[in-house]
Structure 1
Amino acid sequence: MNTKDLREKSVEELTTLLDEQQLNQFRLRMAKSTGQLGKSHEVALTRKTIARIKTLLTEKQGNGQ
């Protein structure tokens, strides 16, 4: 997912998207461990998307400052 698209979302939408991506990451890891994952690059893409979402959530919430 593009960072520009993520910046337009609200904190609630980002939180929901984060939950979905973490569930997707779990499913991909399980498929990889059982040898059923054909597109192994999706694991890395999902991990990077989660990092982007967490970074934007920190920015939007002000990080306690």
Structure 2
Amino acid sequence: MNAKELHDKTPDQLREELATLKKEQFNLRFQQATGQLENPAQLRIARRNAARVKTVLNQKAASAAASE
């Protein structure tokens, strides 16, 4: 997932994506705690994807506020 794809989505779609990523992050943390996580890099990827979505959401909110 890259930022260009995220810019094309609506804020509602971005919020849904963020919720999905948070669930994925929780599941990965749970797997890590129980010793079942095979690829620890997945945690980092999930965290960064969530941060990307939050950044795009904040950018869209700022541009909406500036245009008013």
Q: Same fold (TM over 0.5)?
A: yes
Letter in 2 for 1:40: P
Larger radius of gyration: 2
Cα root mean square deviation, aligned: 1.3
CA deviations over 1:11-54 (Å, ceiling 9, x no partner): 00000000000000000000011100101100000000000000
The Cα shift of 1:5 comes to: 0.7
Amino acid at match of 2:52: R
What TM-score do you get using the length of structure 1 for normalisation? 0.93
* TM-score (ref. length: structure 2): 0.89
Unmatched runs of 5 consecutive residues or more in structure 1: none
Percent identical: 34
Aligned match of 1:36: 36
Q: Which structure 2 segments of 5+ residues have no match?
A: none
Q: How far did residue 58 of structure 1 move?
A: 0.5
Q: How many residues align?
A: 65
The runs of at least 4 aligned residues of structure 1 exceeding 4 Å deviation read: none
Amino acid at match of 2:25: Q
